[in-house]
Chains A and B, each alone.
Chain A
Amino acid sequence: MRKLLTTVFALAVMSGAAYADTIKVGVIGPFSGPFALQGKNFKAGIDAFFAINGNKVGDNQIEVVYRDVPTADPAKSKAFAQELIVKEGVQYLAGFYFTPDAMAAAPLLQQGNVPMVVMNAATSAIVSASPNVVRTSFTTWQTATPIAKVAKEAGASKMITLVSDYGPGIDAENAFKTAFEKEGGKVVESIRMPLNTNDFAPLMQRVKDSGAEALFTFLPSGPPTLAFVKAYNDNGLKTAGIKFYATGDLTQESDLPALADAGVGLQTSFHYAVSHDSPENKAFVAAAEKAIGNPAELSFPAVGAFDGMYVISKMVEATKGKQDAATAVAAVKGLAWTSPRGPVVIDAESRHITQNIYLREVAKDASGKYYNKEIRTFEKQGDPGLAAAKK
């Protein structure tokens, strides 16, 4: 009898331990090097989530383990993902700023019984790489499609596209072209610019010669965006009335102080602006600014990370802390909540986030700070890129 009691007690203790575990989440992102700012935003978003919601789900404590992949490096990303799953015993993988990094780690998910929550990488195809992938960021197709409508309604019928010559740039070109032609407009020329272009003056001459009434551009945030906008202003395109449209990558909040007056009036479409007016966002921004240290550095990857942690917390809740990727992913399919960016849903079929896309205009507030002012909302935008890829 005593022996039986001991066994029962031991079992109780053991199962108790199993239900009050520390659940590890492995986050892979660029935390040093040229893209360190984006990694810092991941971390700020995650820290903000813990600051607001605490790091406990039920009895389980969530612990985040970071791994640094400074630039897009699929081999390194895969090695870290494997190390996190096998040695660290993480139950969830998250982060991923670059598409190739997410793609490289995706084949490990099934065997490792681990869900992946993509917090940034924006190529449509990632969700097809494994049934365990859920994405809380955006796709380039998703953000580039609505602005075609804006351009057409503003009176442009002939447009030129200029995109950086790499995956997301080409996505943006295709997305815009598809949407603009659907609206009845015509893209007269599509230029792909090498990633390391620093003098855009000759390209502005191309824009002038093409006879387009407006231009659409996609550039990854960083030094070239500044040179591009300056070239647009300095070469007289602005005064010639050629309108400027882009995705929000170009007016990332951390780049706005450098763009300064040159950026005022630029219209971009994106899923999140730090200035978004809602109580959820105010609470998020306050916590994230505290986490990142310098408020000027806060931008969109933070909200992807914040919502990514929300999704993971729901997964932990559904699996009660046990490692079960299929249940975890199934639990968040169709999950709807109010994110700092507005109402969002994880689409049950694609596992990608359906969200509002906002048209924003760069403006200057009373204190002289530049911000993205939301002027129009395109509600419940899914990812048109996945459908386009299936065709």
Chain B
Amino acid sequence: MQTVLSIGIDALAYGMILFVISIGLSVTMGLMRVVNLAHGAFAMIGGYLASYAARDLGLHYGLAVLLAVVGTIAIAIPVERFLYRRIYGASELTQVLMTIGITFCVIGIANFVFGPTLKTVPLPPSLSGSVDLGFRSIAIHRLFAIGAGLVVAFALWFLIERTSFGIRIRAAVDNAAMAAALGVRTEIVYAISFAVAIGLAALGGVLGAELLPVEPYYALRYMVTFLVVVSIGGAGSISGALVACLLLGAIDTTGRYLAPEYGEFFFYLAVIVIVTLFPRGLMGRLK
């Protein structure tokens, strides 16, 4: 029983960390219809900025997170203006080629600027160490990540489903020409949602750094996992991504406990089954 509970908690924590890192990609792919393979690259930039701020400048963790998110968005704005804007509505192959190209550029630049060694974001005393839950101990940082994931999920859901800006996003995505005719400034709407998605990527990169340490190949190393989460959850669906992460987290963690020698077998088996049953993901929007 104790073991079951313990695995349950590990699964929840792993799932929420996956969620925080992947949700930004769900936004770009679902709401903006851009297959953004550079998502991992932006998460990595966030991680590097936070690491630089907290380790080399000695800033407080909270400030470092803020700086990472704002800094990554600042880097992403010109990229959006000059590169991404050309591929909105383009064929998927064009999008994939463009964004994978951006990823390779970012890897090269990161390698040159920060070097090939691992970087971490040092945690403040209040987040480091672990707490005793009675039957096991868990890192405080993981509890923090679970909390942050829930806050992000709720805030995004609120933004997209309950605000007038959310209405404009959805209108612009479904029919850009009609939305523009009704006075929605689609370019600005796109730019803002892109910024939000990038900000989330950066946040995920920082919060997940304990599990997925930052190094130049981060940008490619974890991209498959992010894409799997989005395709299982259904692109653009917040609740779908949340359910997908918790489900995949549970399957992966249990599989790893019971039969580590099978590797990712159970993870990908679950992916195949779910994608066969729900080709648009668990909660995908219909086109």
Contact = CB atoms under 8 A, between A and B. Distances in A.
Answer yes or no: do A and B interact: yes
Contacts of B3: 205, 209
Contact of A34 (B10, B119, B137, B217): B217
Interface string A190-201: 011110111101
Taking residues whose C-beta sits less than 8 angstroms from the other chain, chain A's interface range is 35 or more
A20 to B, nearest CB: 39
B253 A202 contact: yes
A35 to B, nearest CB: 9
B213 A226 contact: yes
Interface string B255-279: 0110011011000000000000000
A34 B3 CA distance: 37
A57 interface: no
Contact of A294 (B13, B115, B132, B136): B115
B142 A258 contact: no
B14 A258 contact: no
B213 A235 contact: no
Contacts of A34: 216-217
Nearest to B222: A198
A297 B257 contact: no
A207 to B, nearest CB: 11
A194 B130 CA distance: 26
Contact of A199 (B252, B261, B263): B252
Interface in A144-177: 165
Interface string A225-267: 0110010011110010000000000000011011010000000
B136 A235 contact: yes
B118 A260 contact: no
B260 A36 contact: no
Interface string B214-254: 01111001100000000000000000000000000000111
A222 B138 contact: no
A297 B117 contact: yes
Contacts of B253: 199, 201-202
Given A191-B260, A201-B14, A223 B118 contact: yes
Contacts of A369: none
Contacts of A192: 260-261
Contacts of B215: 222-223
B211 interface: yes
B263 A296 contact: no
A-side interface mostly: helix
A235 B138 contact: yes
Contacts of A226: 118, 120, 213
Given A192-B260, A199-B211, A37 B117 contact: yes
A194 B118 contact: no
Given A234-B137, A258-B117, A297-B115, A202 B122 contact: no
A203 interface: yes
Contact of A202 (B7, B117, B218): B7
A96 B218 CA distance: 25
Q: Which of B7, B117, B142, B217 has the most chain A CB atoms inside 10 A of its CB?
A: B117
A73 B163 CA distance: 53
19 contacts: A34-B216, A37-B117, A191-B261, A194-B264, A198-B222, A199-B253, A199-B256, A202-B10, A205-B136, A205-B257, A206-B257, A223-B213, A230-B211, A234-B138, A235-B138, A236-B137, A255-B118, A258-B120, A296-B115
Closest A-B pairs by Cβ, 10 of them:
A194-B263, A234-B139, A236-B137, A202-B257, A258-B118, A201-B10, A37-B116, A202-B256, A34-B217, A226-B213
Interface of B: 3, 6-7, 10, 13-14, 111, 115-120, 122, 130, 132, 136-139, 141-142, 210-213, 215-218, 221-222, 252-254, 256-257, 260-261, 263-264
Given A202-B253, A235-B137, A258-B119, 16 more contacts: A34-B217, A36-B111, A191-B260, A194-B260, A199-B256, A201-B14, A202-B10, A205-B6, A223-B212, A223-B221, A226-B120, A226-B213, A227-B210, A230-B210, A255-B117, A260-B122
